């Protein structure tokens, strides 16, 4: 164990990232993988497929950081110059690797793609690097050690990069560096604003020792809290984290839905699956996005028979039996309509629980009494129900996202009450 700070730079090579065509999700993913190892990200940079640019960028990092992770520029086209540039920079010779060659040939033959001698280039690798075999693609990773600074080059295709990072780079990093021990504790909260959480936790913040940090990571309806300890003996850190965790749990109580980083839709899926209950949904303004969230969880068919998007008045009446006079009198965005939508969903799908949402996502459709962003959300089941009016003062896309996330929050409160199990 050591307290020496290990710094990393993440270098993304490719014009498509520079010009904004591709959002640099690789870099953020790599950051999230390195951080828990106790590696600090010094800089994240995107540069062009240009040898001089790549060289000067890497040279500038070689003396500043201990780890450089490069993605991109390893494909077979003439734009892809990362390998050649690294050879020049590190004085490498390209050598032929028979194993890689055989593997490539086999892959091509399996896919019925003609294998030409041009593909031989894809089996040539620098003689002074460790080749990291890529099980998911044709470009291998490379691991260079330059006087103690590690330079890793990975393909830019996200799932290939992720496979190599997980299976090879991270284990090698653990072997190579003396990593600090970092201990994390998570608290997933929903329905509480970041500023309210901060006020609630003032007493905890005040007594945090200098080797423990508390981070607030907010997203719609959910704030992830993370306590991070570093730099003391494990037993001391464990003990302090236990004490602080008990305190945080005591203060936030049922505001916490989990003690590990899980999405609200995953948590709800787990609750439903474990209790053998089912859920259906009647969506209006969210237009299918809430159903999509529920079904994005693998195995959701076990507890989700289906849902309806009832966008028009007529379909609300014909499919969910919302009476026409209710729609005419109170409007689709009203507590009364939500009551009928909940009943309709429970009856139509024969489910144990139901969610109903109706609102004005925008940009049009608002009125002085019901401005854009007004959303009614209801959850029901087990003879119990909860209906609430929300106001999300955002654009269409974000109003929809907030409505979905608050609906999940309210469902989890109802489920927790009925299933009477502590959050876990």
Interface with a second copy (CB under 8 A): 16-25, 27-32, 35, 41-48, 159, 217, 281, 283, 286-292, 294-296, 298-301, 304-312, 314-315, 319, 348-349, 362-365, 395-397, 400
Give the Cα-Cα-Cα angle 356, 359, 362 (nearest 5 degrees). 145
Residue closer to a second copy (CB basis): 305 or 371: 305
Nearest residue (CB) to a second copy, 314 versus 419: 314
Compare residues 92 and 310 and give the one whose CB is closer to a second copy: 310
Cβ–Cβ contacts within 10 Å for residue 282, how many? 31
Least spacing, CB of residue 332 vs a second copy, in Å: 10
Distance, CA of 111 to CA of 121 (rounded, Å): 19
Judged by beta carbon, residue 64 or residue 174, the one nearer a second copy is: 64
CB of 345 to a second copy, least distance (A): 12
Smallest distance from a second copy to CB 396, Å: 6
Q: Which of 214/315 has CB closer to a second copy?
A: 315
Could you tell me the smallest distance in angstroms from the CB atom of residue 314 to a second copy? 7
CB contact at 8 A, 413 and 269: no
Q: Produce one character per residue of 76-108: b if its CB has 16 or more CB atoms within 10 Å, e if not.
A: eeeebbbbbbbbebbebeeeebeebbebbeeeb
Of the pair 190, 348, the CB lying nearest a second copy is at 348
Looking up tokens 């981070």, which residue turns up? 215
Which residues lie closer than 8 Å to 219 by C-beta, 6 or more apart? 405
Q: Whole-number minimum distance, CB 404 to a second copy, in Å?
A: 9
Nearest CA to 165 out of 10, 30, 9, 36 is that of 30
Cβ atoms of 257 and 316 closer than 8 Å? no
Rounded Cα distance between 134 and 140, Å, is 5
Instruction: State in angstroms the smallest separation of the CB of 15 from a second copy.
Output: 9
């Amino acid at each position: 164990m050591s307290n020496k700070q290990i710094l990393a730079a993440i270098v993304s090579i490719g014009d498509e990232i520079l010009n904004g065509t591709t959002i640099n999700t690789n870099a953020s993913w790599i950051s999230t993988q390195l951080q828990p190892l106790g590696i600090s990200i010094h800089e994240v940079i995107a540069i062009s497929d240009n040898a001089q640019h790549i060289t000067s960028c890497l040279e500038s990092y070689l003396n500043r950081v201990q780890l450089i992770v490069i993605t991109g520029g390893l494909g077979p086209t003439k734009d892809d110059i990362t390998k050649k540039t690294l050879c020049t920079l590190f004085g490498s010779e390209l050598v032929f690797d028979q194993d890689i060659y055989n593997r490539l040939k086999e892959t091509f033959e399996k896919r019925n793609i003609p294998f030409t001698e041009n593909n031989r280039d894809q089996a040539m690798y620098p003689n002074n690097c460790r080749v990291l075999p890529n099980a998911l693609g044709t470009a291998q990773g490379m691991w260079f050690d330059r006087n103690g600074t590690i330079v890793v080059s990975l393909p830019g295709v996200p799932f290939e990069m992720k496979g190599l990072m997980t299976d090879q780079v991270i284990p090698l990093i653990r072997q190579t560096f003396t990593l600090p021990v970092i201990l994390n504790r998570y608290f997933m909260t929903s329905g509480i604003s970041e500023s309210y959480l901060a006020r609630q936790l003032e007493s905890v913040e005040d007594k945090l020792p200098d080797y423990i940090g508390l981070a607030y990571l907010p997203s719609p309806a959910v704030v992830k809290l993370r306590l991070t300890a570093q730099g003391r003996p494990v037993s001391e850190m464990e003990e302090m984290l236990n004490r602080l965790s008990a305190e945080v749990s005591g203060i936030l109580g049922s505001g916490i839905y989990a003690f590990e980083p899980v999405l609200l839709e995953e948590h709800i899926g787990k609750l439903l699956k474990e209790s053998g209950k089912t859920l259906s949904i009647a969506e209006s303004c969210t237009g299918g996005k809430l159903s999509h969230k529920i079904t994005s969880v693998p195995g959701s068919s076990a507890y989700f028979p289906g849902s309806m998007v009832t966008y028009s008045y007529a379909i609300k009446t014909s499919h969910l039996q919302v009476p026409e006079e209710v729609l005419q009198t109170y409007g689709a965005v009203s507590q009364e309509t939500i009551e009928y939508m909940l009943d309709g969903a429970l009856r139509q799908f024969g489910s144990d629980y139901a969610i109903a949402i109706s609102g004005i996502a925008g940009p049009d459709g608002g009125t002085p009494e019901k401005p854009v962003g007004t959303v009614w959300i209801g959850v029901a089941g087990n003879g119990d129900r909860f209906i609430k009016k929300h106001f999300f003062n955002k654009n269409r896309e974000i109003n929809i996202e907030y409505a979905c996330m608050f609906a999940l929050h309210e469902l989890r409160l109802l489920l927790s009450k009925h299933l009477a199990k502590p959050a876990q």
